[in-house]
């Protein structure tokens, strides 16, 4: 079975994919924002000397995740910002666009994660290749998901 389709660039989908990939790495920053904010408020109320340092730390922790995602999208946009053709076959997944082409063998993939309008081909916990499936019909999506389930890459719950 061969499934082939072309995807169009979409910066919002790429941003969603980058957010999903880095969500666990950025979680401590999101946790520190309210903790440092509350600590800063408590120190301001009690006249503590470190209140402004805690408040500055909270601001930094709020900005870092946004900056990491923005820089990740910016770095990836050169290759993902142009139309790409995807071919899913028995050999693996072949991608091609005006700048590059390559094949990912099935054995290289850890699993496939489905997020709205795209799938993420996971090679390991941080290396992910986003594939937009927004332009596929319901039948084409079902065929693709059946192929991925048959390879043991997509659980039936997804």
Mean pLDDT by 10 residues, the chain (158 residues): 91 94 92 93 86 92 96 93 94 94 95 93 89 93 93 72
Query: Could you report how far apart the first and last alpha carbons of the chain are, in Å?
Result: 21
Residues 116 and 71 both lie in one domain: no
Number of domains in the chain: 2
Which of 79, 101, 121 is at the close of a domain?
Answer: 79
Question: Residue 13: what pLDDT?
Answer: 95
CA pair distance 149, 158, nearest whole angstrom: 10
Residues 25 and 75 both lie in one domain: yes
Query: Has residue 157 been placed in a domain?
Result: no
Residues 117 and 128 both lie in one domain: yes
Closest to 12 (Cα-Cα) out of 73, 97, 72 = 73
Question: Residue 156: what pLDDT?
Answer: 53
Residues 67 and 104 both lie in one domain: no
Q: How many CB atoms lie within 10 A of CB 18?
A: 22
Question: Residue 113: what pLDDT?
Answer: 92
How would you class 157 by CB atoms within 10 Å of its CB: exposed for 0-12, middle for 13-18, buried for 19 or more?
exposed
Which of 79, 94, 125 is at the close of a domain?
Answer: 79
Residues 82-98 as b/e (b if ≥16 CB within 10 A, e otherwise) read: eebebebeeebbbbebe
Residues 62 and 92 both lie in one domain: no
Closest to 88 (Cα-Cα) out of 43, 32, 153 = 153
Q: Give the phi and the psi of residue 46 in degrees, each rounded to 5.
A: -95, 0
**Range(s) of the domain holding residue 44:** 11-79
What CATH number does the domain containing 118 carry? 2.30.29
Closest to 113 (Cα-Cα) out of 127, 95, 98, 96 = 127
Residues 18 and 69 both lie in one domain: yes
Residues 74 and 30 both lie in one domain: yes
Question: Residue 155: what pLDDT?
Answer: 62
Question: Residue 1: what pLDDT?
Answer: 78
Residues 15 and 74 both lie in one domain: yes
Residues 98 and 118 both lie in one domain: yes
Question: Residue 109: what pLDDT?
Answer: 95
């Amino acid at each position: 079975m061969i499934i082939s389709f072309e995807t169009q660039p979409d910066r919002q989908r790429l941003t969603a994919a980058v957010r999903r990939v880095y969500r666990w790495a950025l979680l401590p920053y999101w946790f520190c924002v309210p903790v440092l904010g509350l600590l800063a408020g408590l120190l301001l109320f009690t006249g503590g000397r470190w209140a402004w340092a805690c408040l500055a730390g909270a601001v930094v922790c709020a900005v870092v995740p946004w900056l990491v995602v923005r820089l990740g999208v910016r770095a990836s946009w050169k290759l993902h910002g142009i139309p790409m053709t995807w071919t899913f076959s028995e050999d693996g997944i072949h991608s091609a666009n005006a700048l590059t082409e390559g094949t990912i063998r099935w054995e290289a993939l850890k699993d496939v994660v489905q997020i709205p309008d795209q799938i993420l081909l996971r090679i390991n916990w941080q290396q992910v290749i986003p594939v937009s499936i927004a332009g596929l019909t319901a039948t084409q999506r079902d065929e693709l998901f059946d192929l991925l389930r048959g390879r043991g890459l997509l659980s039936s719950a997804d």
